[in-house]
Structure 1
Amino acid sequence: MTIAADYVDFAVRELRGVSPTYERLALAVSRDDELLARLGELPPGKRQPNLLFGVVRLLGGPVDDPAAFRGFAVANWPAIAAEMCVRATQTNEAGRCAVLLPVLAALPQPLALLEVGASAGLCLYPDRYAYRYGDHRVGSGTPVLDCAATGLMPPTRLPRVVWRAGLDLNPLDVTDPADVAWLDALVWPEHSHRRERLRAAARIAAADPPLLVRGDLVDDLPALAARAPAGATLVVFHTSVLYQVPRARRDAFVDVVRELPGHWISNEAPEVLPYDGLPEPPSEALHNVLALDGRPLAWSRGHGQSMVWFG
């Protein structure tokens, strides 16, 4: 797929009806030969729209108007390209916990959570948040995570977590203003509710920091998993992470995680982690597949805003 086609696909599948601002930008970039040529000079894994848009926002550039965005991008391309080469899209969306909760609550308690691609670790606190599935509420904490759930009975309890750890090539620190600024820049412009949720979740993590380890998802996962306490169910999980990992390393990761004790929860796009016999997705929008131990259970949207259970 060409860079232009990637930007059109992102606009149609992820942004339409979700972020009109970024949809306009993605379509504008897809038609801009100069910006496409400059993106083509970057490594293949550093060309994606949400990385470009996040870096421009981090650098104080405009995103509301495609012409102003283009002017800023062209004038500041060396700085933009340098940031894109050293950063990754480490969106740390606590709302994804609403998709994970039905599975986590059903596993043998207590849990030892290990997130691969943890960013700042905000998804390691599913027991500290509250949830709202339609008119069904679980928990009493903040923030409250809303999820439109179809086809399942929402959970009635929160999981009991006794250990939480994350593995990331570049873990972020919610007590570092620069790291929080990057997380903030990755939140889409219209999503003030997600920005407020990020800040509330960051306060929870800062008050009780998780164990975050800098490392590789294949080479360093077994050693970190071995640190989980005895008597707790180990749960290795990841969401919207493996698209940044080359296919051979994805396959190696799957081999490694299948050999670990406990359980494995994945929440990835079907073209990234494929399964046979999936039902049709609910719409043309991009949906992840929520799976437990390699068995697909539900379609889910990328920020945890909805899920359709079929497992």
Structure 2
Amino acid sequence: MYERLCHAIARDAEVVALLETVPEPKRQPNLLLGVVRLLGGPVDDPGAFHDFTVANWAAVQTELRRRATQTNEAGRCALLLPVLAALPQPLALLEVGASAGLGLYPDRYRYRYNGGDVIGEDGPVLDCTLTGTAPPQRLPEVVWRAGIDLNPLDVTDPADVAWLEALIWPEHQHRRDRLRAAAAVAAADPPVLRRGDLVDDLPGLAAQAPGGATVVVFHTSVLYQVPSARRLAFADVVRRLTGHWIAVEGADVLPYGRIPDEPDDTLHNVLALDGRPLAWTRAHGQAMTWFG
């Protein structure tokens, strides 16, 4: 649906002219499409989408200006688990760009790699096709979890959860079901989320982690929204912290040097530990090709 809509919008002079009235960073396709869905607009027909967007532009514009793409995909925890399970336990997790914090519960979900046995006892099942290494056999022990975001979302607020649902592509019902199940896990024990900047405010939050725990700063599909100079400043800050750093970002977002070719022509990110690339990953955690 979104591919068809984006082709139509690109040819729609009226909608394009309206988009040019908002700041350029707010013209992201996923942001516009998510806002229209949040407002109850149709996305299954380009003509109906046009009519709704034009007629309700005041509301659409308001939401575009106040919101950001904050996809909170719990499935990405399946990409983190092989690294988290291998680190010295227990762990103190700190997520950068945490959204509503659903990525802070890797110990509360269940995992199924390559259709095999399920790891874990409760929570939604996160399926992942893993090649190049053996699946992890245990869950991490997490004793502290916190997140930082410019605009943290409240997993106990139905309006915030509705925005997270609006960001999931229309055909992906399995991801909506997974979001609701993960939100229930997080709502039962809400995470500590701080409003702040990933460079200026990260050290102060990391300093609150309990002694005796391995601090792990991580982020998934976040830094592409951060200007390049600020990304490098963040990398400098996180390298100076005591603990470990896990990044899951596009190959061109952080400087990794030479890495193996991608496994196929679908969109991939790179999983890296402390700046060392380990695997190609799919965007929602559905697959991972290990090379590290």
Q: Give 5+ residue unaligned stretches, structure 2.
A: none
- In structure 2, the partner of 1:154 is 135
Alignment of 1:47 with 2:38, yes or no, is: no
Output the amino acid matched with 2:279. Answer: A
The equivalent residue for 1:113 is 93
**Paired position in structure 2 for 1:219:** 200
Report the Cα distance in structure 2 between the residues aligned to 1:73 and 1:279, rounded to whole angstroms: 43
- How does 1:8-87 map onto structure 2 within 5 Å? 21-87=1-67
Match of 1:13 in 2: none
Corresponding position of 2:253:
272
Give the match for residue 15 of structure 1: none
What does residue 210 of structure 1 align with?
A: 191
Q: TM-score, normalised by structure 2?
A: 0.97
Task: Verify the 8 A CA contact 2:123 2:185 in the aligned structure 1.
Answer: no
The corresponding residue for 1:145 is: 126
- For residue 228 of structure 1, the aligned residue among 209, 221, 224 is 209
| Offset of residue 36 of structure 1 | 2.5
Question: Structure 1, residues 67-120: CA drift from partner, whole Å, max 9, x if none?
Answer: 211121122222212111110111111000001111110111100000000011
Deviations 1:165-216 (A, max 9, x none): 0001111111111111111111111111111111111111111111111111
Q: Secondary structure of 1:106's partner?
A: coil
CA distance 1:223–1:92, change in 2 (3 Å): same
Alignment of 1:128-143 (within 5 A): 128-136=108-116, 137-143=118-124
Number of equivalences:
291
Aligned mate of 1:190, from 145, 148, 171: 171
* Aligned mates of 1:140, 1:217 — CA distance in 2: 33
3-state DSSP of counterpart to 2:146: strand
Give the conservation status (yes or no) of the 8 Å contact 2:110–2:121.
yes
Deviation >3 Å, runs of 4+ = none
Q: Is the 8 A contact 2:101 2:186 kept in 1?
A: yes
Alignment pair present for 1:286 and 2:263: no
Distance (Å, rounded) in 2 between the aligned partners of 1:231 and 1:299: 32
1:11 maps to what in 2?
none
State the shift of 1:162 in Å: 0.3
Tell me, yes or no, if structure 1 residue 201 matches structure 2 residue 164: no
Query: Helix, strand or coil for the counterpart of 1:166?
Result: strand
TM-score (norm 1): 0.91
- Cα distance in 2 for residues equivalent to 1:26 and 1:297: 34
Give me the whole-angstrom Cα distance separating, in 2, the residues matched to 1:281 and 1:254. Answer: 24
Letter paired with 2:14: E
Cα distance between partner residues in 1 of 2:21 and 2:224: 20
| Counterpart-to-counterpart distance in 2, 1:133 and 1:149 | 6
Q: Of 124, 127, 132, which residue of structure 1 is paired with 2:107?
A: 127
Distance in 2 (CA, whole Å) between partners of 1:59 and 1:119 is: 20
The reply to whether residue 92 of structure 1 matches residue 62 of structure 2 is no
1:250 to 226, 231, 236: 231
Select which of 227, 237, 259 maps to 2:218.
237
CA distance in 1, matches of 2:168, 2:60: 18
- Picking from 72, 97, 102, the partner of 2:82 is 102
Deviation at 1:284, TM superposition (A): 2.4
- Aligned residue in 1 for 2:153: 172
